[in-house]
Amino acid sequence: MEVPSRPTGVPVLLWALAAQLVLCGSGLCASDHTKSCKLLFESESERRVLRRLEPITRKNFTVETKNGSESYTYVFQLCGDAGGVQQAGLIQMSSTPKKTTVIGMYNATQAIGGSDWVILIYRNGERYDAHCSQEQRRAIVMISCNTKMDVGQLNVVVEDRDRQQDCFYLFELDTSAVCPHVEYQLSTGSIILIIGFCVLAVYLIGGFLYQRLVVGAKGMEQFPNYAFWVEVGNLTADGCDFVCRSRNREEPPTYRGVVTEPLEEEPEERDDHLLPM
């Protein structure tokens, strides 16, 4: 029994795979975890900034700070539950007493970006107890380009809370994700080179097939325009001989005679005489 769908199954699969590769290559099939971030004010430009951070989503970044006897661990996640705390983009965990404080929520995100940096702001954290007029905490994460690493360590820069309002926790993070895109654009020179190679390949293959199948040539004669290229080769050799040789060519007359003789004896294979004049 023959199963007709079987032989076509594999090619279809391959085509699907190829199509997906092409789509992914153009960035159309990439998953977008940054969608989980809710922007304070939805805007396409901020979305674009956020999408640049896709490579560092779904990862807990942690950093520990010690201040005397106090020790804090901060956990940051891009558009995901930091340390598993619902809707929290950045949390602070203190060991004594054991306490988790939400610094910022990713459902209140702002994203600002430049050529090789992104500033991510998570707002609506827990209120300060005494500082900053008891406003809501806010986390600012400065994400900078570093071509040397996929993603580096999270660092605490400062906790600025000794003022009346607009307090913030500032962090920094290095990643290659926000580096300017290396455009895989071909320069004019390479395009010309590629076209040249293509033309050459078409010429050689087409000419070869023509010589072999239509003209019926054998051996070296299968090269397209064989006679012409042989002539070019000889002329080049002559030119090189003329330019590069330091000794005078006229000096050994006997040698010259040997060279010219066979040339004259060369059988003239041209078939011009067959043409009716």
Ligand X SMILES: *[C@@H]1O[C@H](CO)[C@@H](O)[C@H](O)[C@H]1NC(C)=O
Nearest approach, Cβ of residue 28 and ligand X (Å): 25
Tokens of 113: 């970006």
Nearest approach, Cβ of residue 85 and ligand X (Å): 8
Alpha helices in 26-133 (DSSP H): 44-51
**Residue (136 or 222) nearer to ligand X, CB:** 136
Nearest approach, Cβ of residue 138 and ligand X (Å): 13
Cβ atoms 210, 203 nearer than 8 A: no
Among 56, 90, 105, 154, binds ligand X (CB under 6 A): 105
Nearest approach, Cβ of residue 179 and ligand X (Å): 23
Among 47, 73, 87, 146, binds ligand X (CB under 6 A): 87
Strands 168-175 and 139-145: parallel
- From CA 229, how far away is CA 222, in angstroms rounded? 12
Q: Which residue is it, tokens 């290095």?
A: 174
Count of positions on this chain that bind ligand X (CB under 6 A) = 12
Cβ atoms 217, 155 nearer than 8 A: no
**30 contact partners, CB below 8 Å, separation of at least 6:** 24, 54
**Residue (89 or 211) nearer to ligand X, CB:** 89
Question: Candidates 79-87, 159-167, 175-183, 257-265 — which segment interacts with ligand X by CB under 6 A?
Answer: 79-87
Cα 86 to the chain's mean position, in Å?
35
Q: Is residue 235 classed exposed, middle or buried when 0-12, 13-18 and 19+ CB atoms within 10 A define those classes?
A: exposed
- Residues in contact with ligand X, shown as a per-residue x/- string from 30 to 69 under the rule CB under 6 A: --------x-------------------xxx---------
**117 contact partners, CB below 8 Å, separation of at least 6:** 142, 143, 144, 145, 178
Check binding of 84 to ligand X (CB under 6 A).
yes
- From CA 84, how far away is CA 82, in angstroms rounded? 5
Check binding of 127 to ligand X (CB under 6 A).
no
Among 107, 109, 110, 211, binds ligand X (CB under 6 A): 107
**Residue (109 or 211) nearer to ligand X, CB:** 109
Strands 155-160 and 117-124: unpaired
Check binding of 108 to ligand X (CB under 6 A).
yes
Nearest approach, Cβ of residue 87 and ligand X (Å): 4
**Residue (80 or 113) nearer to ligand X, CB:** 80
**Residue (78 or 118) nearer to ligand X, CB:** 78
**Residue (105 or 143) nearer to ligand X, CB:** 105
Give phi and psi for 123, each to the nearest 5.
Answer: -105, -170
Q: Which residue is it, tokens 């789509």?
A: 23
Residues at the contact surface with ligand X, assessed by CB under 6 A: 38, 58-60, 83-84, 86-87, 105, 107-108, 124
